[in-house]
Amino acid sequence: MRLVDLIRENHEIIIRSWKEFARTLDPDGQFTDLTLRDHASAILDAIAIDMEVPQSDQQRILRAKGMGGPNFMDPVSVVHAKLRIGLGFRIDQIIAEYRALRASVLRLWAQQKLADPEVPDEVTRFNEAVDSAIAEILSRYSKLLEQFRDQSLMILGHDLRTPLTAITLFAQMLSTPQGIDDKTSRVASRIIVNAERINRMLGEFVDLSRTRFGVGLSITRGPIDLLGLCQHVLDDLRQHDPDCVFRFDTFGDLQGDWDGDRLAQLTTYLVRDAIQHSDGQPVGIVVRGQLEEVEMDVHHEGRIPPEAMGRVFEPFARAGGDDTHVGSAGTGLGLYLVQQIAISHGGSVEASSTSEGGTTFHVRLPRQRRGIHPGE
């Protein structure tokens, strides 16, 4: 008996095994037996047809590379994957179903010892059919992730910011001095501050989505003077925290071809992080112009625990203890975005920290672009 015949004659045995495994993926018993075994029969039929299609040596080589000719698995695999994802199955669970199907068929084949020496490559053809289904599932899942990414970016970047803008405008109208008391003015000012904070957080999550999904930060370059940019950032931070103290020193030419908004973002994150961990001590900012690049050091007297150094630039990185170092206050994305902004300019950022010397973040920014980076 051929393997393909065994598959056709033992549909119900194989499907029962499929259903029993699928049930282990549904411990809460949310799905009926019909739901768990859906498409199993159609998938087995597609595998059998796929195995019987004549295949040349060249087609066999191409199929092994995922580049073969007609594939009878694709249509049913697509439908099954879409419904499974719709039911809340994870990608690893869907692939596990196919692995269980493969194991069930080959176990039945081995138990009956029905291998036909005249058809030596049947197991290979069977594995190719299952692998094709898994490849289609991965492709379908990737497309769904892309759709989710695009929808998430649209919601974060536009839909949520529209009502937030309206809130800010109304609060600004309330905060005008004509005809309102001090209490109303203070409340309106708090609304504006918090709306600006939410807007900043939305921007951070948009940037996180872009970098995590491989799109890259958007970069628009132009002539920038880091001296004026840093002074503007420090003035803005003083307005929000009048008690903070800065030591700001510059050396050499600080001109370059950069994205001014992104570098203002980078500088704000680093200095705000330093204020957060300086324990009232002055924060040092030193910017030096080198021959082909500009370097920036931001220093504070706090300390990053040694066990946290390896993940200080990870999103949402947290370190325990009184000397917690978590990046910018709020989302925990500040230092991660500092690194991404530096990388998008062809530069880098490093952190060093000791009990005696405090913590320093060292940023390198090439004056001119070096090739094309994601987002440009």
- Tell me: pLDDT of 368 over 60: yes
- End residue of a domain, out of 191, 212, 233: 212
Same domain, 97 and 181: no
Q: What is the DSSP string of 172-202?
A: HHHTSSTT--HHHHHHHHHHHHHHHHHHHHH
Contact 373, 343 (CB under 8 A): yes
Q: Identify the pLDDT of residue 168.
A: 79
Domain that holds residue 247: 222-366
pLDDT top residue among 207 and 212: 207
Q: Identify the pLDDT of residue 63.
A: 59
At 160 the three-state DSSP class reads: coil
Dihedral of the alpha carbons of 155, 156, 157, 158, in degrees to the nearest 10: 40
Q: Identify the pLDDT of residue 322.
A: 39
Contact 51, 3 (CB under 8 A): yes
Span 236-279, pLDDT tens digits: 899 888 888 999 999 999 999 999 999 999 999 999 999 988 88
The mean per-residue pLDDT over the stretch 326-336 comes to: 65
Domain for residue 140, yes or no? yes
Domain for residue 172, yes or no? yes
Domain for residue 293, yes or no? yes
Contact 276, 324 (CB under 8 A): no
Q: Identify the pLDDT of residue 28.
A: 67
Confidence category of residue 30, pLDDT binned at 50, 70, 90: low
Domain containing 356 — which CATH number? Answer: 3.30.565.10
pTM over 0.95: no
Summary mean pLDDT of the chain = 78
Residue 363's nearest CA partner among 284, 271, 298, 309 is 298
Amino acid of residue 47: I
Same domain, 190 and 248: no
Largest pairwise CA distance in the chain: 96
The mean per-residue pLDDT over the stretch 130-135 comes to: 76
Domain for residue 373, yes or no? no
Domains: count for the chain = 3
Domain for residue 341, yes or no? yes
Q: How far is CA 247 from CA 56, 93, 271, 348, in A?
A: 74, 55, 11, 23
Span 285-306, pLDDT tens digits: 999 999 999 999 999 998 888 8
Q: Identify the pLDDT of residue 231.
A: 95
Domain for residue 305, yes or no? yes
Span 211-223, pLDDT tens digits: 765 566 888 899 9
- High-pLDDT (> 70) share of the chain, %: 76
- End residue of a domain, out of 119, 148, 177: 148
Same domain, 12 and 144: yes
Q: Identify the pLDDT of residue 329.
A: 47
Same domain, 165 and 68: no
- Tell me: pLDDT of 51 over 50: yes
Domain for residue 155, yes or no? no
Same domain, 350 and 313: yes
Q: Identify the pLDDT of residue 184.
A: 76
Same domain, 245 and 271: yes
Same domain, 80 and 186: no
Same domain, 203 and 329: no
- High-pLDDT (> 90) share of the chain, %: 24
Span 11-24, pLDDT tens digits: 888 888 878 887 78
Same domain, 116 and 252: no
Same domain, 164 and 142: no
The alpha carbon of residue 336 and the mean position of all alpha carbons in its chain are separated, in whole angstroms, by 12
Same domain, 60 and 179: no
Domain containing 37 — which CATH number? Answer: 1.10.490
- End residue of a domain, out of 212, 233, 251: 212
Domain for residue 45, yes or no? yes
pLDDT top residue among 252 and 34: 252
* 102-106, Cβ contacts within 8 angstroms, sequence gap of 24 or more: 102/126, 102/127, 102/130, 104/14, 104/17, 104/18, 104/21, 105/3, 105/6, 105/7, 105/14
- Tell me: pLDDT of 375 over 60: no
Q: Identify the pLDDT of residue 235.
A: 93
